Amino acid sequence: MTHVHIIGGGLAGLSAAVDVIGRARVSVYEAGPACGGRARSYYDKALDARIDNGNHLLLSANKASFRYLGLIGAEKTLIGPGAPLFPWFDLSTNTGWTLQLSKGRVPFWAFSRRRRVPGMKLGELAMLGRLLKAGPDQTVSAFLGEGMLTRRLLEPFAISALNTPLETASAALLAAIMRETLALGGTACCPWYPAEGLSESFVDPAIAHLTRLQGEVHCGTRIAGLDVQDGRVVGLKSGSETIAIGPEDKVVFAAPSPVARTLLEPHLPDFTAPDAYESIINVHYRLPGPVTARGMLAKVGFVGLVGGVAEWIYLKGEILSVTVSAANRYAARDNDELIATIWSEIRQAVGPVLVETLPEAVPPVRLVCEKRATFAATPAQDRLRPQAKTGLANLALAGDWTQTGFPSTIEGAIRSGSEAIRALGLSH
Ligand SMILES: Cc1cc2nc3c(=O)[nH]c(=O)nc-3n(C[C@H](O)[C@H](O)[C@H](O)COP(=O)(O)OP(=O)(O)OC[C@H]3O[C@@H](n4cnc5c(N)ncnc54)[C@H](O)[C@@H]3O)c2cc1C
């Protein structure tokens, strides 16, 4: 039986493993103490709580992700309102509303004052059509207008999806997301997120599934180099050992792009990979007890914000968790000042719809800044992304940074794992 060796136990590596197990022997080598990579949960001592490194949102359109969850028996671990509902709050005008997309492709929602973005003009919808035809060198800001549809929907949607300032972000990558989500209508846009944690949804069930099928997952095993002979990988160097790669064996490289550049450039002459990154900040506030929301926030579990620093607030029991994307722009700001600013935004946006009163003083808090959360989704970086197939006969690439046609997302990472298996000629 072919033995597939997978370097990296993030979602791309796990997706490759889950895809091929049963048809091949599988070993995953993960450098860290646990799998999950940029989508993981852990116990935070200061908060005395288990948290995710960052809030992650999926949309019902993310077919590969739901297929993966199905294969590992974890599809029921996500929660969401079961409808395309997005509560929003504009901090600059103190206005709240809920975007309620219509099910199908025709945007009936835009004709209803109750369902659309307040202040938007119907004419602004034409911008969406133009964006869908964006060329590979165009940036998102070249398409944006001045109206409320831009300010209150397109800008926050684009910055969350691309994690890149819109003046430099690739319009074609945004269009790729839009074609599979907004353009298909509300059925494709129902939001989902882990009920418990990222690891409980995407990682632990995958490892249990792989282990049940005799797969091996080696955490704490950093691959530091490849031995290559006659156009094939013949060994993986880890510490003082070399893992032998037999003549029938295959390798999936699913570690992040900076590692790829170091390990692969010596063996692949024309190798390129993204080399510019954007950070994401998540701030987790621990309250004395669980908070209960009223109305739409209770139904959906999160709210989107415009007009401030915070972009999404998630209610997770006694944790209020905030996401700030494309966060390189805040690098010079003091963490305590950011924490205080975001806390006051939380109090303004959700304080009035919570049953409990939020304290004025900042509660115990953890700020997590993932410096290389994603590659910068610019046209130039997108051109550096390699295909899964490489010049080495038994090596394929996976990872959200490979050429998935998507920005850095769970969906892209999971698709890339399957694509690597296809590139090795091992798909069904
Ligand atoms: C804060 C944050 C919020 C995000 N929000 C969203 C969201 O809402 N929706 C969404 O779809 N996506 C989101 N993303 C993006 C998503 O998390 C990533 O696209 C996805 O997790 C990438 O998976 P990956 O397997 O490609 O890479 P990684 O998760 O980086 O996995 C690579 C793995 O390789 C391991 N590794 C590194 N070097 C070696 C080595 N030498 N040997 C062995 N192993 C090695 C690493 O430890 C890591 O586990 C977010 C990301 C962050 C950081």
Once rounded to an integer, what is the mean pLDDT over residues 325-342?
A: 97
Q: How far apart are CA 420 and CA 401, in angstroms?
A: 13
Residue 141 burial class via C-beta count within 10 angstroms: exposed 0-12, middle 13-18, buried 19 and up: middle
Per-residue pLDDT of 122-133, as tens digits, reads 999 999 999 999
Non-local CB neighbours of 212 within 8 Å, separated by 6+ positions: none
Maximal CA-CA distance, the chain: 67
Q: Containing H/E element for 320?
A: strand 319-324
- Token reading at 72: 């590992």
**pLDDT of 20:** 98
Ligand 1 pocket member 90 (CB < 6 A): no
**pLDDT of 97:** 97
Once rounded to an integer, what is the mean pLDDT over residues 290-296?
A: 95
Nearest CA to ligand 1 atom 8: 56
Nearest CA to ligand 1 atom 14: 409
**Overall CATH class of domain 3-32+220-273+385-423:** alpha beta
Ligand 1 pocket member 199 (CB < 6 A): no
Ligand 1 pocket member 12 (CB < 6 A): yes
**pLDDT of 197:** 97
CA of 37 to the centre of ligand 1 (A): 4
Per-residue pLDDT of 132-157, as tens digits, reads 999 999 999 999 999 999 999 999 99
- How many percent of the chain have pLDDT more than 70? 100
- How many percent of the chain have pLDDT more than 90? 99
Whether 232 contacts 394, CB under 8 Å = yes
Ligand 1 pocket member 410 (CB < 6 A): yes
Once rounded to an integer, what is the mean pLDDT over residues 258-273?
A: 96
Q: How confident is the model at residue 248 (pLDDT cuts 50, 70, 90)?
A: very high
**pLDDT of 295:** 94
How confident is the prediction for the chain on average, in pLDDT? 97
Once rounded to an integer, what is the mean pLDDT over residues 392-399?
A: 98
Q: Containing H/E element for 58?
A: strand 58-59
The three-state secondary structure class of 359 is: coil
**pLDDT of 287:** 97
The residues spanned by each domain of the chain are: 3-32+220-273+385-423, 102-188
Ligand 1 pocket member 61 (CB < 6 A): no
CA of 38 to the centre of ligand 1 (A): 3
Once rounded to an integer, what is the mean pLDDT over residues 231-257?
A: 97
Atom of ligand 1 nearest to the CA of 221: 43
Ligand 1 pocket member 418 (CB < 6 A): no
**pLDDT of 428:** 80
- Mutating to test ligand 1, I would choose from 385, 408, 415 the residue with most ligand atoms within 8 A of its C-beta, which is 408
Once rounded to an integer, what is the mean pLDDT over residues 251-276?
A: 97
CA 170 to chain centre: 17
pLDDT at 41 over 90: yes
Ligand 1 pocket member 297 (CB < 6 A): no
Taking each helix axis from N to C end, the angle separating 410-423 and 11-20, rounded to the nearest 10 degrees, works out to 40
Ligand 1 pocket member 378 (CB < 6 A): no
Ligand 1 pocket member 9 (CB < 6 A): yes
Whether 170 contacts 378, CB under 8 Å = yes
- Mutating to test ligand 1, I would choose from 38, 66, 321, 403 the residue with most ligand atoms within 8 A of its C-beta, which is 38
Once rounded to an integer, what is the mean pLDDT over residues 388-407?
A: 98
Ligand 1 pocket member 223 (CB < 6 A): yes
Once rounded to an integer, what is the mean pLDDT over residues 14-23?
A: 98
CA of 256 to the centre of ligand 1 (A): 7
Atom of ligand 1 nearest to the CA of 416: 26
Atom of ligand 1 nearest to the CA of 193: 8
